[in-house]
Amino acid sequence: MKPSLPKGTRDFGPVEMQRRNYIFDVIKSVYHKYGYLPLETPSMENLSTLTGKYGDEGDQLIFKILNSGDYLAKVDHVELQNKNSKAVLSAISEKALRYDLTVPFARYVVMHQHELVFPFKRYQIQPVWRADRPQKGRYREFYQCDADMIGSHSLMYEAELILMFKEVFEKLNLSVDIKVNNRKVISSLMQFLELTEKFVSVVTIIDKWDKIGQEAVEKELKDLGITNNKIAEIIKFVKLNPNNIQEAILSIHYFASTNEIGIKAIEELTHLNEYLQAVDAFVNNNISIDFTLVRGLNYYTGTIFEVKALNAEMGSICGGGRYDDLTGIFDLPGLSGVGISFGADRIYDVLLAKNLFPSFLNTNSLALFFNFGKKESIFSFQIIQQLRKRNFQVELYPDETKMKKQFQYAEAKNIPFVVLIGESEIAENVAQIKDLRNGEQVKVSIEHIADFLSKFSDNAI
Amino acid sequence: MKPSLPKGTRDFGPVEMQRRNYIFDVIKSVYHKYGYLPLETPSMENLSTLTGKYGDEGDQLIFKILNSGDYLAKVDHVELQNKNSKAVLSAISEKALRYDLTVPFARYVVMHQHELVFPFKRYQIQPVWRADRPQKGRYREFYQCDADMIGSHSLMYEAELILMFKEVFEKLNLSVDIKVNNRKVISSLMQFLELTEKFVSVVTIIDKWDKIGQEAVEKELKDLGITNNKIAEIIKFVKLNPNNIQEAILSIHYFASTNEIGIKAIEELTHLNEYLQAVDAFVNNNISIDFTLVRGLNYYTGTIFEVKALNAEMGSICGGGRYDDLTGIFDLPGLSGVGISFGADRIYDVLLAKNLFPSFLNTNSLALFFNFGKKESIFSFQIIQQLRKRNFQVELYPDETKMKKQFQYAEAKNIPFVVLIGESEIAENVAQIKDLRNGEQVKVSIEHIADFLSKFSDNAI
């Protein structure tokens, strides 16, 4: 039997793990600093918790877990005979793997509403599962790295989340464009143009602009039965390219000031701008306003975020936004939240392509002590254990075998130093230390091995 | 709809997460130091990878994942009509959740055998799932923390794993008893007594000694048809209580030296002892030999480990051992391995009961800046952002609201300091800083807030 992995899943070996942990650690450090605390929810949720939260298509992509034991015993005979997969499902499956981290978060907040202190801020870094068709960059198991605040309408949180994006990518040395929009702006325009009923169709067409171009967008809008005048207004709006939030507010004023939702949009953009201006957030010029940005159309109600890496062949690497009624799905209305999510897999690919992983990620051993037989290896083992007490990461080759094989092991594992202590070295109380990177070999007294190696170890004490 | 969690699963809130991460971080730091590197495998494995690896009972406890789409379409009509859950299973489920970390590790090694450098050492800290009946301390989703070496017979690894147990529990400040045995010892005794065919039954009875006592053990052995002489030999063996490995070897010599497996047992114990003696592993006297220790009867072939917390109402908190043919299940014979596993949930419970979690685990914000209105909050937001640049974990209350409510928020979140900057403080360029733990309030110039707070922050730079 030749073992294999399920489609769309991956093993992460030591090198990938160290790189992934580097990304997660940077994100976590920023989440912590801004007062977001860790939460983990179970991989399984009741199927009823997840069903209906992601649309019909989403429901199809949820991985269902088969009930244990004689799972067919109580299933309706007729439905079985008819092979009615949908009807049988509810009888043979009660649990499913989580599809995202947002619904479990809402479930957690509702279950713990009386113990939690609001505004409640949590971060969550865990895998999610989707029965999507696997393809390049799309997996059936992948990590999400979310931070969400729930229980306040304050735009301060939006400002902070933008600053958190900035800080994470500064720490990762990755140049990005942080796009910001407010969902209310386009709603206001649609009201202004009396196109509210066609909202979803229009936005869906606008969203294709980058792919199909202006002409095709105009044609599709025309096919919707929209007048030329209104199409011209929509095109003018899409082409707005404000340099900052102040300019953005001025550019939408002519329609936004005419209806309630537009006035609210201006108010929210103004507040956000006050916080960001106060801390010179625009200094590095990596925040931009994009009125055509729509993510999770039926979901976000206010501010929307998206982050793209500059000069990279990659879609958005982060997203997020404000949702005014997150826990309404579980009958706890009125709690407004805002959150962000880092796409760890995509960030990984971009950092790798740009060679931005730091060299200190190599956590292989610093030195391999050769094994020259029983007496010698016990002698080396003693020294190794003393070095470990001082936090050196060193190891002994386990068996007495040919030097060549021990050298090969050190080289294959990228261990920079080998330490040779044979019979004559024990007699002299010295060790031969060879630097495999340049071939240089020095003789060091046993007492000074730690001193010698400490120049090359950050952790040693 | 009132949301709930599936039976046997748990949410981990911020406090629990910080404590759990503390345990994981200690374990990881020791794993790293001894050259074990991280690996993660997917939550899902092909059902064929897992089936048959854990015995019939284990197979029942594996969580199966339902195929996506119209999963009943191709199922045999007759089997459906007969409600043959077992026969239908293979047609509607191809994947399952991993049951442990050992089989996925073996699968990984076999799949990557040509790239890996042997001996290969990895650690893996991930959840596993079992459809067990939930009860106190037994969950359907729980973390395993495994370290395994594969590809060498050297007893050095056993010695190192024991030292790793020691170091982890020293760092956690938990007193433990590390029990060691070698599976070959009891095999040798059974050969000596010509009871090899009754091996499993005899060992199962011996294993109940602590629960049922000597008399009942004797009775059950008699019921097996074992002679009084041999029963006396077995009882004598169980009552052996050697103080160290040397004594242990002497005490079994009379039977172990009479057969091959016994001679091998003595040899292995001797080697292990050489390594441990060389580094004074017995100094704190927390390693003991227990010949009756049997874990995973059909699994381990040499050394066996088990760790118990001293003075705690808790079963074993760690286990492990040597398995001579780990990857044989995937047709790659001849690779010997040895590994250990920390029971994080049980360690958590013991540390909590003994109040051994360190106080520094509280990672709430250090200070809450009060919100006295728009102008004041923007002013505070600027200061906060400067403090964050220096790694202070501080936050602003999001809305202008009653002082009482803001105080309550700080208290509920265990934030020790509140910083008050109202109109008059801005005019004076000062802040009032109140220590909520003792009620003391001091007036500090804006420039000196960082200096003041730095006395209470370990992370600030």
> If you search the block for the tokens 């537009």, which residue do you land on?
A262
Are the CB atoms for A312 and A175 separated by under 8 Å?
A: no
The pLDDT tens digits for B360-419 are 777 789 999 999 999 999 999 999 999 999 999 999 999 999 999 999 999 999 999 999
Q: Is the Cα torsion angle B63, B66, B72, B76 positive or negative in sign?
A: negative
> Residue B284: what pLDDT?
65
B298 pLDDT tier (thresholds 50, 70, 90): low
Closest Cα in chain B, distance from residue A4 (Å): 7
| CA gap A105, A125 in Å, rounded | 12
Residue B301 amino acid letter: T
pLDDT of B115 above 90: yes
Closest Cα in chain A, distance from residue B20 (Å): 11
| CA gap A366, A394 in Å, rounded | 6
| CA gap A227, A221 in Å, rounded | 9
Residue B311 forms contact with A (CB below 8 Å): no
% residues pLDDT > 90 (chain B): 85
Are the CB atoms for B392 and B366 separated by under 8 Å?
A: yes
> Residue A296: what pLDDT?
62
Which DSSP state fits A12? B
The tokens for A124 are 């969550």
The tokens for B351 are 């540390």
pTM for the full predicted model = 0.93
- Give the count of Cβ contacts less than 8 A between chain A and B: 270
Which of the residue ranges B180-184, B277-281, B406-410 would you say has the lowest mean pLDDT?
A: B277-281
Residue B337 forms contact with A (CB below 8 Å): no
> Residue A459: what pLDDT?
73
Give first-to-last CA distance, chain A, whole Å. 48
Q: What count of Cα atoms within 13 Å lies in the side-chain half-sphere of residue B299?
A: 16
| CA gap B189, B380 in Å, rounded | 76
> If you search the block for the tokens 């989440």, which residue do you land on?
A31
pLDDT of B264 above 70: yes
CB contacts, 8 Å: A12 with chain B: 38-41
Residue B89 forms contact with A (CB below 8 Å): yes
Task: Give the best residue of B22, B66, B149, B327 to mutate against chain A (max A CB count within 10 A).
Answer: B66
Q: Cβ of A396 and B43 within 8 Å?
A: no
Mean of pLDDT values over B211-216 = 92
Which residue of B lies nearest to A155 if distances are taken between CA atoms? B398
Are the CB atoms for B395 and A37 separated by under 8 Å?
A: no
Nearest to A83 among B73, B84, B127 (CB): B73
The tokens for A332 are 């706890």
The tokens for A95 are 């649990």
CB contacts, 8 Å: B92 with chain A: 66
Residue stretches of chain A with pLDDT short of 70: 1, 284-285, 295-298
Q: Cβ of A45 and B129 within 8 Å?
A: no
Q: Which helix (H) or strand (E) is B44 found in, with range?
A: strand B44-46
Strand, helix or coil at A72?
Answer: coil
Residue B110 forms contact with A (CB below 8 Å): yes
Q: Cβ of A278 and B14 within 8 Å?
A: no
> Residue B247: what pLDDT?
93
Strand, helix or coil at B350?
Answer: helix
pLDDT of B460 above 80: no
Q: Cβ of A159 and B381 within 8 Å?
A: yes
> Residue A284: what pLDDT?
65
| CA gap A365, A197 in Å, rounded | 64
Closest Cα in chain A, distance from residue B319 (Å): 22
Strand bridging mode B367-369 / B417-420: parallel
Are the CB atoms for A148 and A337 separated by under 8 Å?
A: yes
> Residue B312: what pLDDT?
92
> Residue B430: what pLDDT?
97
> Residue B183: what pLDDT?
92
pLDDT of B41 above 90: yes
> Residue B296: what pLDDT?
63
- Over A236-263, what HEC string results? HHHHCCCCCHHHHHHHHHHHHCCCHHHH
The tokens for A317 are 């690497």
Nearest to B81 among A80, A88, A331 (CB): A80
CB contacts, 8 Å: A382 with chain B: 278-279
Are the CB atoms for B103 and B95 separated by under 8 Å?
A: no
ipTM over 0.85: yes
CB contacts, 8 Å: A275 with chain B: 378, 381
| CA gap A35, A37 in Å, rounded | 6
Q: Which helix (H) or strand (E) is A412 found in, with range?
A: helix A403-412
Residues of A (240-279) whose Cβ lies below 8 Å from B: 274-275, 278-279
